[in-house]
Amino acid sequence: MERIPILQMGEFLLVTIQVELSDQVALTLQDDLTERIRTTGARGVLIDISALELVDSFIGRMIANIAGMARILDARTVVVGMQPAVAITLVELGLTLTGVHTALNPDRGMQYLRAALAEEVHGHGRLG
Amino acid sequence: MSKARTTTASILKSHEKELVADWQKELASAGSASDVRIGERALHAQMSEFIGLLRDAAQHGDLVDVDRTAWQPMRQFLQEVSRSRVAQGFTSEQTALFIFSFKKPLFVRLRKELGDDPETLAAETWAATQLLDRMALLAMRSYQQSREEVIVRQQEEMLELSTPVVKLWDGVLGLPMIGTLDSARTQVVMETLLQRIVETGAEIAIIDITGVPTVDTQVAQHLLKTVAAIRLMGADCIISGVRPQIAQTIVHLGVDLHDVTTKATLADALALALQRSGWTVERSSGQTR
């Protein structure tokens, strides 16, 4: 069965969705990603959806859910490279992905993750 | 009927010059021959071509059924004439008159040739009048089509004109909106802006609504949708040019703009955008306010 690969890069996990996301694949990704965050102790997740050209309400909600789950597992999540058509569709569907950070491209997304992590570490240092 | 057809065709063939001259006189008496928009020579050429095409078609085809292939050149000619009439600014009446005024010269000729045979004359006149009416209708249809094309093109141009996305600074896009926002326009605005964000990688977009005359709940809804879509793409959006009356309307309508950064002027919005992207603007020394 088709699976979305999850790559580890240091403290971050990289998910690039290169195929049309079917409901089953999305559900598998949800399981895989949460499992990988737990096993690797990743602090950040970057989801690249620049190849995604079509979304429906289910996939839209899945993206929001995956981001939400990662956050609960203490990993910052950033969704990058959303296509204009996808953004318009999600807005029309009323899914504004509240609480999910977005960035224009993987580079900017990585910058955000690093900055967020540095801030966290800095914050901890001050506390201790 | 076959005899009648040859008569019209032969008249068209043998008396072309006289027909054109009479036709021109007829048009002149109707008051639209000596128009500055179309020269005498051009008009003359069009008349000769019309008669020539009519003759060819009458020789080869049926006089009544204009949809047949024999009439293809004639249809094309009428389309071209109507199109040029539209471009030159003639009214539909004047365009139709161009065809209708050919009736009298043709009928006068027919009477001269067939004066001794009333029955054939009546049949021939009826056939010719039917034919010319069809021609005029064809010309009208093309005229209308050309006009509609002009309208559609202008609409598209207006839509494009009204949504220019400009680069204000490195990573800052501006969209000065002018005119009322409806669903179709918002869609275009949203698409162009999002596309430009992808192309330029700009992180901040400023929508300036100084030129938007009124903001009602629907317009506000459209604006909020655009802002949400921009956020989803990973960029940020500032709305500027909120006039006092509009601010009042928005509050009275109970529209929630809390999540959206709004500024009174485009300058304020640009200053904020520069600050957010880490730029500072300094006045060079020696200058005073």
Q: Which of B174, B221, B226 is nearest to B196 (CA)?
A: B174
Nearest by CB to B233, which of A84, A92, A109? Answer: A84
Nearest by CB to B232, which of A97, A105, A108? Answer: A97
Q: Which two tokens stand for residue B231?
A: 């956020």
- Non-local CB neighbours of B232 within 8 Å, separated by 6+ positions: A82, A86, A87, A90, A91, A96, A97, A102
Q: Which two tokens stand for residue B267?
A: 């300058």
CB contact under 8 A, B203 and A104: yes
Nearest by CB to A87, which of B187, B194, B201? Answer: B194
Q: Is A83 an 8 Å CB contact of chain B?
A: yes
Identify the pLDDT of residue A102. Answer: 92
**Is residue A127 predicted with pLDDT exceeding 60?**
no
Nearest by CB to A102, which of B194, B225, B234? Answer: B234
Contact B121, B111 (CB under 8 A): yes
pLDDT band at residue B64 under the 50/70/90 scheme: low
Chain A residues whose beta carbon lies within 8 Å of the beta carbon of residue B232:
82, 86-87, 90-91, 96-97, 102
User: Which residues make beta-bridge pairs with A78?
Assistant: A46, A101
d(CA A101, CA A91): 15
How many contacts (CB atoms, under 8 Å) link A and B?
54
Distance from CA of B67 to the nearest CA of A (A): 45
Nearest by CB to A82, which of B191, B201, B233? Answer: B233
CB contact under 8 A, B228 and A91: yes
Give residue for tokens 């009928």: B107
Q: Is A91 an 8 Å CB contact of chain B?
A: yes
As a whole number, mean pLDDT of residues B49-71 equals: 74
Q: Is B152 an 8 Å CB contact of chain A?
A: no
**Is residue B65 predicted with pLDDT exceeding 70?**
no
- Taking only the tens place, the pLDDT of each residue in A107-123 is 999 999 999 888 877 76
Q: Which two tokens stand for residue A48?
A: 């690249």
Q: Which two tokens stand for residue B191?
A: 């698409």
Give residue for tokens 């000769």: B48
Chain A residues whose beta carbon lies within 8 Å of the beta carbon of residue B228:
91, 96
Chain B residues whose beta carbon lies within 8 Å of the beta carbon of residue A88:
187, 190-191, 194, 229
Percent of chain B past pLDDT 70, that is, above it, reads 90
Nearest by CB to A88, which of B198, B229, B235? Answer: B229
What CATH number matches the domain at A6-127, 3.90.10.10, 3.40.920.10, 3.40.50.920, 3.30.750.24? 3.30.750.24
Contact A53, A85 (CB under 8 A): yes
DSSP secondary structure code for residue B265 in this structure? S
**Is residue A125 predicted with pLDDT exceeding 60?**
no
- Taking only the tens place, the pLDDT of each residue in B227-271 is 999 999 999 999 999 888 888 888 888 888 888 899 999 999 999
**Is residue B87 predicted with pLDDT exceeding 70?**
yes
Identify the pLDDT of residue B36. Answer: 65
Torsion over CA of B236, B240, B244 and B250, rounded to 10 degrees? -40
Nearest by CB to B232, which of A87, A105, A108? Answer: A87
d(CA B135, CA B78): 8
Chain B residues whose beta carbon lies within 8 Å of the beta carbon of residue A79:
234
Q: Is B153 an 8 Å CB contact of chain A?
A: no
Identify the pLDDT of residue B3. Answer: 47
**Is residue B2 predicted with pLDDT exceeding 50?**
no
The residue among A47, A82, A92 with the most chain B CBs within 10 A of its CB, best to mutate, is: A82
Q: How far is CA B66 from CA A8, B75, B129, B220, in A?
A: 74, 9, 13, 55
Which of the two residues, B177 and B71, has the higher pLDDT score?
Answer: B177
Which of the two residues, A63 and B206, has the higher pLDDT score?
Answer: B206
Distance from CA of A115 to the nearest CA of B (A): 15
Chain A residues whose beta carbon lies within 8 Å of the beta carbon of residue B187:
88
- Taking only the tens place, the pLDDT of each residue in A87-102 is 998 888 888 887 788 9
Domains of chain B: 2-157 (1.10.490.10), 166-276 (3.30.750.24)
First to last CA, chain B: 94
Q: Is A105 an 8 Å CB contact of chain B?
A: yes
Q: Is B183 an 8 Å CB contact of chain A?
A: no
Q: Is B184 an 8 Å CB contact of chain A?
A: no
For residue A87, the chain B residue with the least C-alpha distance is: B229
User: Domain boundaries in chain A?
Assistant: 6-127
**Is residue B122 predicted with pLDDT exceeding 70?**
yes
Identify the pLDDT of residue B162. Answer: 67
Contact B247, B191 (CB under 8 A): no
